[in-house]
Structures are given as structure tokens and as C-alpha cells.
Amino acid sequence: MGFRILGTGSALPERSVTNDDLSEFLDTSDEWIFPRTGIRSRGICTTETLDELAVTACRRALEAAGVSAGELDLIICSTTSGDHLIPAEACAVAELIGASCPAFDLSAACAGFVFALDVADGYLARGRGERVLVVAAEKMSRLVDWSDRATCVLFGDGAAAAVLGPDGENPLALRLTTEPSVDILHVPGVAGSSPYDATERPASVLAMEGRRVFKFGVNAICDSVQALCEQAGVAVDDIDHFVFHQANERILSSAVQRLGIDNAKVARALEETGNISSACIPLALDRLARAGELKGGQLVVLVGFGAGLDTGACLLRWDRPGD
């Protein structure tokens, strides 16, 4: 027994910050940013909380699925940038939507949504419930160094969610990997104020080795696609939609070229959202669903990759009711 995606939803901040906006306080420009990243704007929270974005995405997913919050048996939130260290972001979501089920957070950086799908699949397979809400919510604007033009231009805020139910055939294939490396992409934890702590206390802002992340991202996509197809016994050409983590257009283009796949099959939201960490994949999936581009029986590949270095990849057959 596997799962089915019953409905999806997403939410972005009201404020869209363009490359020209960034040039007002950074030594940068649209001419510098867009060719290097594929990003022209990104949603940045101003008055919204991450709780509010997550709740909006969840309510839209529940509405699309025809499921009430009271019917949920589990809520999993993928986040590395929640409004709360304690309690879990998922607990805040549960309270605000009126759910009364177990709720917890999962941290696997940009691969988090796919990791959460695997956890949800196990929960459903054990018969622990019939309705699971998986939400990815990220406020990357609170983690970046806004004086570092090499990193802050890449990221945005947002949330996206999916409601899962049983009696499907998904995942057709799944692959989770970790190539342990902390320094390539990391955000130091909260320093605290302990008078006994004699360790160094670096600022809690994102640091990244761009070239190594680029190489890892391209390899992660290509290796994952090949591995999933081999597991499921399908050809790469049989895949109808590729939903990759939206890190950088150069990563996407390099992977597309190496795999030899049809560029039109690759979902893209990067230009107007930037990198929203684990929310990238479900947001792109929601956009495909709401545009009517996902048809019943189609094969969809999801590949997330990021800090850790974690990779989460999944092959799905789209079988949402009504599609």
C-alpha cells in the first residue's frame, strides 16, 4: 500500500523584492544577478509571520483535497527557519488550523519535503492514520547575511503543502542519501547566553561554498533521476514532469543538458520566488496542479538537495482524485 496526493497548496509573502530593489543597498544589479542565477525577484516577509504563510498553504491544500483539519491524523512540517525553536512549527500550524493530531518538525534542509513524504508514507503504511498533512515552510530572509551579495540574492520566503491519503501506489521509487559535510552550506545555531560556554559564537547567518554546492546539485539531480528510473524500471524519457529543487538556473540547465531531457518537462518557479529551501518542490508541484498540467497516470520525479549534504528523490504516479 502506498500514498496518494489528495491536494496541494502554497503561499508567498505579499512583498516581492526585485533585483533592482536589492541594488539600492547592495553592489549588484539585475544584469549581474539574473544571468548567474535565473532569479529576477523573490518573496520576502514584511508583516507576515512564517506561521501565517504555512497556515495559508495548508488551508489551500486541505480545500483542494476536500479534507477538514479535524480529519488529519498527522502533521509534518519541513523547516530550518521556523518562527519557533520550541514548540515545533507544525504545532503552531495545528493550533491555527484547528487540528488535534500529532505534529512535529523535520529538518533536512532543501531535501526536507521529500524526506517528509517518506516519513508520511511509513505512517500510512503502518495503518496509523489515513490523512497526513506535509507542509514545507521557510523564512530564509531571517537566515541570510544581507550584506553578502553572493548569497542573499538567492533566497526567498514561502510555504507549500500537500495532503496525503492511503490506497495509492506511491512512491514508485524513493532515494534518500547524505554525503556528510557541514561546512559547505550551514547556518550556526543560536549562541545563547550561558556564562559557562567558552566556544566560539559565530553569527547565525548562512554561509555557502557556491562552487561545491553547484557541483553537488548537478550530480544529485542526475544521479537521483537515473537511480529512480532504474528502481522503477522506467526510462528517463517516460517521465512526464521533473520537479527539481529551485536552487539556481545554472544547476537546472546543467542537469537538463547532462540528462538529455526535454527542458519543457522541467518545472520552474525560480525566476519569481528564488530559493525557498524545502518549500521549492511542493510550491512548484502546486503550481503544476493548479495550472492543470498534471494528468492522471503521469510520472513525476521530485529531487531535493541541500545542506547536509542531503538528497531526497521520489518518483510518483500522479493519481489525485479528479485528475
Residues with a catalytic annotation lie at 110, 245, 275
Residue 317 and residue 296: Cα distance in Å, rounded? Answer: 8
Which three three-digit cell numbers place residue 18? 526585485
Specify the residue for cell string 544529485: 220
Contacts of residues 23-29 at CB distance under 8 Å and 24 or more positions apart, as own/partner, are 25/146, 26/146, 26/147, 26/149, 26/152, 26/153, 27/149, 28/149, 28/153
Q: What residues does 132 pair with on adjacent strands?
A: 74, 164
Q: Scan for cell 557541483, then name that residue.
A: 215
Q: Cell triple for residue 143?
A: 537566515
Q: Cα–Cα distances in Å, from 122 out to 74, 129, 197?
A: 12, 10, 40
